[in-house]
Chain A
């Protein structure tokens, strides 16, 4: 009973507040075009089996692997950060591109791009509407992982503030991967190509931040020459350090700014990609 009250207080109410704020922004601040595109996209996720399959895959993998391989149960401390959140971005490297791959490539495959772009709307309306719809799918996915949090709260007395920070960090990383996928899917009409290329880029963005990976690459014979520029770039745009800071519960302005800038840049790049495709 105690766990349920804590769950409500620490998670359900903040989630509800975030949702209400999001709906308010969508309805009152954003133009009608964004809202219309958003509604269509979100509906299309849930009329096809895509969203459900991804939900099951994500929740299945993340919870089983967390319980069995990361030792949440044996840890005793019920400190969720290390075992659970550290592994979430690994799944998101695959899941976020799977959610986002259809955003623009489907539009090109069906030819509906021609309809969409001859409607009276600015390209950013469509880009933002689509991105937000996919973001809501990812958000719901994270919300649906609440049984794990409930279990932890049932078993022990964890710091729910840190857990919440972990979720915020995970969501931001997921949105970064989604934004990358948005650019890639604007460049191809094949969803499979969009998926594979996005996974590769997200993987690089994620792995590049791991200290032992960069060490390994640098120590390869001649690796220094090849990997130095890549690693330098990943040092700048790599999401790992920002994720780690946030997930620890340190809500630094710098890290939040990084994520927002990264996403904004990718959405801008999507508009450039769409323009290039048309000409």
Chain B
């Protein structure tokens, strides 16, 4: 549905987006991750046709965005980052206006508005004027606007910003559910959100895509993926630590707790050895006849990967 190829955006001398490429198919939810100012919003603004690209191609549903602007825009629902609203309208009036602008047939506008209000929990403020709304309601009103015409493509710039934990959960569920039939891009700072609702994620830093994959693939890339947490007794903690460090599969042993008769530690895998580390540790325990109280292999964590790759980039 969305194909982006080698997209560039320059603001004067500043390069905001520097060769971003990705595709999103129907049934996919793509998470955009990246530090502030990385170019996420700028990329989204170009895909929605708000900003013209400096160079590169954007195709919506197989057709070039610039050549078929109106047709492409009618397929997209968009929630801008700032969640802008016309402050002189009521929530319902605003949604009706958007439905009409989006080409919802006159007879279906009321039911489209009712549906959007229901999905985004806006019932209590339906007749309230927009400029008296709290931040969470404002955000949801703008979110409702983006789904009012049941678009095939949804582009959401930080959709859960300003919501309380319950509402965040609901919106994530909603994104996941809608993702089955639509192509969705959403940006976020919250990494658990990516794990909760994305089928794929890309990490953008300083205008470039620096990681692209399913959340699981990305987690596996983090250097802590495959580390083993062990709680064992039978030997002095320092002795166990020394043994663990001797293993060729281990890179580092992080001691969480150490005593005269045991250890609680996280063993980080050596490069490329994350698959074998678990076996090696349990073999060692058998060898030294340690009493294993707890052993488990940790998945990588997205926030670790995020910090690692965006940090190393900044230092470079």
Q: Which residues of A contact B (CB under 8 A)?
A: 32-33, 36-37, 40, 44, 47-48, 110-115, 117-122, 278-279
3 shortest A-B CB distances, which residue pairs? A111-B84, A120-B74, A120-B73
B122 on the interface (CB 8 Å rule)?
no
Nearest-neighbour CB distance to chain B for A122, whole angstroms, equals 7
Q: Given A44-B88, A48-B88, A120-B73, do A114 and B50 touch, yes or no (CB 8 Å)?
A: yes
CB distance from B34 to the nearest CB of A (A): 20
B85 touches A44 (CB 8 A): no
Given contacts A114-B45, A278-B51, A278-B52, contact A119 B73 (CB under 8 A): yes
With A48-B88, A278-B51 known, 13 other A-B pairs at CB within 8 A are A32-B100, A32-B103, A40-B86, A110-B86, A112-B85, A112-B86, A114-B80, A114-B84, A115-B84, A115-B142, A118-B50, A121-B73, A278-B52
Known contacts A47-B88, A278-B50; decide if A119 and B101 are in contact (CB<8 Å). yes
Which of these, B45, B70, B84, B97, contacts A120 with CB under 8 Å? B70
Does B49 lie within 8 Å of A118, measured CB to CB?
A: yes
Most buried by A among B51, B70, B84, B97: B84
Proximity bits, B39-58, A CB within 8 Å = 1, else 0: 00000010011111000000
Please, which residues of chain A bring their CB within 8 A of the CB of B84? 110-115
B316 to chain A, nearest CB (A): 31
CA gap between A118 and B82 in the complex, in Å: 14
Q: Is the CB of A118 within 8 A of B85?
A: no
Could you list 21 examples of A-B contacts with CB < 8 Å?
Answer: A32-B100, A40-B97, A48-B88, A110-B84, A110-B85, A110-B87, A112-B84, A112-B86, A113-B84, A114-B78, A114-B84, A115-B78, A115-B84, A115-B98, A118-B78, A119-B73, A119-B101, A120-B74, A121-B101, A278-B50, A278-B51
Contact of B97 among A32, A36, A47, A278 (CB under 8 A): A36
Q: Which residues of B contact A40 (CB under 8 A)?
A: 86, 89, 97
Complex Cα gap A118–B78 (Å): 8
A111/B80 in contact, CB under 8 A:
yes
**B188 interface contact, C-beta 8 A:** no
Q: Does B71 have its Cβ within 8 Å of any Cβ on chain A?
A: yes
Residue B145 at the A interface, CB < 8 A?
yes
CB pair B52–A279 under 8 Å, yes or no, is yes
The answer to whether B80 touches A115 (Cβ under 8 A) is: yes
CA distance A115 to B80 in the complex (A): 7
Cβ of B281 under 8 Å from chain A? no
Does B229 sit at the interface, judged by CB under 8 A?
Answer: no
Whether B89 lies near A44 (C-beta < 8 A) is yes
Q: Given the complex, which residues of B lie within 8 Å of A110, measured CB to CB?
A: 84-87
Give A115 Cβ to nearest chain B Cβ, in Å.
6
**Is B268 close to A, CB under 8 A?**
no
Q: Does B102 contact A (CB under 8 A)?
A: yes
With a cutoff of 8 Å between Cβ atoms, the chain B residues found around residue A279 in the complex are 51-52
- Please measure, in the bound complex, the distance between the C-alpha atom of A244 and the C-alpha atom of B80, giving whole angstroms: 49
A45: shortest Cβ distance to chain B, in Å? 9
| Chain A residues within 8 Å of B101, by CB | 33, 36-37, 119-121
Least CB distance from A81 to B in Å reads 39
Which chain B residue has the least Cβ–Cβ distance from A111?
B84
Interface string of B209-220 (1 = CB under 8 A from A): 000000000000
Residues of B within 8 A of A119 (CB): 73, 98, 101-102
B76 at the interface (CB under 8 A from A): yes
A121 to B87, CA, bound (A): 22
**Contacts A111-B82, A279-B52 known; A121 to B70 CB distance under 8 Å?**
yes
